[in-house]
Amino acid sequence: MPAPEMMHAIRVHAYGNSEKMHYENVLMPKIEADEVLIKVSATAFNPLDHLIRMGVVQETFPHKLPYIPNVEVSGTITEIGKGVKNLKVGESVFALLNILSNGAAAEYVATKAEYVAVAPKKIKLPEVAAMPVGALTAWQALFDHGQLESGQRVLIAGAAGGVGTLAVQLAKWKGAHVIGTASEASFPMLKEIGIDELIDYNQEMVEERIEDKLDLIFNLSPEGSNEVSNWLHLLREGGTLVSITSPADGKVAKELNVNVVHMNVQQSGEQLAHIAKLVDEGVLKPVIAEKVKLKDLPELHHRAEVGTVRGKVLITVGE
Ligand SMILES: NC(=O)c1ccc[n+]([C@@H]2O[C@H](COP(=O)([O-])OP(=O)(O)OC[C@H]3O[C@@H](n4cnc5c(N)ncnc54)[C@H](OP(=O)(O)O)[C@@H]3O)[C@@H](O)[C@H]2O)c1
């Protein structure tokens, strides 16, 4: 019998600190009829990755140990399941993976074809891996839940990170007036991607800076529910606050006649296809702060533990 094919991957062997993550040889994943196998070009880091690894969100994200982390991927399809009609071997693709399955911190990953879209051509394939979480989260928050329209005013609280920088660009593309909170060090980058107004969260209170009513607030900041709820009166009647971190108070929202949504990003190959088109049209680009190699992922997790990771970090896998 031929030896089973092996690949390099990072696996988390126990919840706890980053010393429980190892770069090792593991069995290649096998695909189901509705799946594709992707040779990974790159993946990217998300703050949730290290919370899952520490075991602090075990109840919401129960993993079978050992597991391969990372939910974002760009790469090339090497195999397709019998039932997959819309993708081909050899195509460059990107995807947001199921967070409870083995992830893309590996040379190969298997995923449902419905989560996958053909990658944009305007940017290099590895860089595309910095987009699925941020672009899908921003798309769903601004457009599916927030119903953002041209000419509306939107506050993006936490504009400088992996999600925020894509939210700013998508909101500008829609024709909105975009106000963001960030630290001063992020201001030049945010101006470059077209933000209209900036609030330094270290120096100013959002409530004190916003004078005209907002149509939408997209909160991805680490502020607690009390602070986020304080922003509800900044919305016009019928306006919406969408949060992907702390939820706002529903009772206060009802009194003010505004809407609150607390959402989790969902996979969608269809929405990624729209996003790829916007990248190719020059509307949208990932903002990558740093690149590291796959074998250095444990070190990146260690830095996340001590709070020194800033901005979107790309993890390159292919050569
Ligand atoms: N529910 C979901 O579906 C979902 C999906 C994706 C992400 N998330 C969560 O959303 C959050 C943001 O994700 P991300 O990938 O964008 O993180 P990230 O890349 O680490 O960026 C976080 C940004 O927050 C900014 N920040 C720090 N303190 C702030 C404050 N008090 N007010 C405003 N901004 C502040 C920082 O800006 P400066 O660099 O300028 O200091 C940093 O750039 C994380 O908590 C993540 O887990 C949730």
> Tell me, what's the pLDDT at 296?
97
State yes or no: pLDDT of 2 exceeds 60: no
Whether 182 is in a domain gets the answer: yes
- Distance (Å) from CA 113 to ligand 1 centroid: 29
The C-alpha atoms of residue 85 and residue 87 are separated, in whole angstroms, by: 6
Task: Please tell me whether residues 100 and 201 are part of one structural domain.
Answer: no
Q: Is 93 left (phi over 0), alpha (psi -120 to 50) or beta?
A: beta
Q: Atom 30 of ligand 1 has which residue's CA nearest to it?
A: 221
> Tell me, what's the pLDDT at 318?
75
Query: What is the domain extent for residue 225?
Result: 133-262
Is the alpha carbon torsion for 288, 293, 294, 296 positive or negative? negative
pLDDT digits (tens, 9 = 90+) for 286-296: 999 999 999 99
What percent of the chain is modeled with pLDDT above 90? Answer: 97
Q: What is the CATH number for 249?
A: 3.40.50.720
* Strands ordered across the beta sheet of 259-262: 197-200, 177-182, 153-157, 214-219, 235-243, 259-262
The mean per-residue pLDDT over the stretch 53-79 comes to 95
> Tell me, what's the pLDDT at 4?
62
Task: Please tell me whether residues 244 and 156 are part of one structural domain.
Answer: yes
The mean per-residue pLDDT over the stretch 135-164 comes to 98
Task: Please tell me whether residues 47 and 113 are part of one structural domain.
Answer: yes
- Distance (Å) from CA 185 to ligand 1 centroid: 15
State yes or no: pLDDT of 314 exceeds 90: yes
Task: Please tell me whether residues 137 and 211 are part of one structural domain.
Answer: yes
The mean per-residue pLDDT over the stretch 172-184 comes to 98
The mean per-residue pLDDT over the stretch 267-291 comes to 97
Task: Please tell me whether residues 120 and 30 are part of one structural domain.
Answer: yes
What is the domain count for the chain? 2
Task: Please tell me whether residues 12 and 106 are part of one structural domain.
Answer: yes
Assign 319 a pLDDT band (cuts: 50, 70, 90).
Answer: low
Give the atom of ligand 1 at the shortest distance from the alpha carbon of 134: 6
- Distance (Å) from CA 32 to ligand 1 centroid: 35
Task: Please tell me whether residues 76 and 165 are part of one structural domain.
Answer: no
> Tell me, what's the pLDDT at 122?
98
State yes or no: pLDDT of 3 exceeds 90: no
What is the model's pTM?
Answer: 0.97
The C-alpha atoms of residue 199 and residue 214 are separated, in whole angstroms, by: 15
State yes or no: pLDDT of 107 exceeds 50: yes
Q: Atom 48 of ligand 1 has which residue's CA nearest to it?
A: 244
The set of residues, in sequence order, having a beta carbon less than 8 Å from that of 1 and lying 6+ positions away, is none
Task: Please tell me whether residues 23 and 103 are part of one structural domain.
Answer: yes
Tally Cβ neighbours within 10 Å of residue 273. Answer: 14
State yes or no: pLDDT of 8 exceeds 90: yes
308, two tokens: 């020194």
- Distance (Å) from CA 252 to ligand 1 centroid: 24
Residues with CB under 6 A from ligand 1: 46-48, 133, 137, 157-158, 160-164, 181-183, 186, 201, 220-223, 244-245, 264-265, 310-312
Task: Please tell me whether residues 140 and 258 are part of one structural domain.
Answer: yes
Task: Please tell me whether residues 98 and 196 are part of one structural domain.
Answer: no
State yes or no: pLDDT of 1 exceeds 70: no
Q: What are phi and psi of 240, to 5 degrees?
A: -135, 140
The mean per-residue pLDDT over the stretch 77-88 comes to 97
**In this structure, are residues 300 and 45 in contact, taking their beta carbons and an 8 Å threshold?**
yes
The mean per-residue pLDDT over the stretch 69-73 comes to 98
Task: Please tell me whether residues 27 and 66 are part of one structural domain.
Answer: yes
Task: Please tell me whether residues 178 and 74 are part of one structural domain.
Answer: no
Give the atom of ligand 1 at the shortest distance from the alpha carbon of 137: 5
Mean pLDDT score of the chain, rounded to an integer?
96
The mean per-residue pLDDT over the stretch 193-211 comes to 96
58-62, 97-101, 125-129, 157-161: range with lowest mean pLDDT: 58-62
- Distance (Å) from CA 279 to ligand 1 centroid: 22
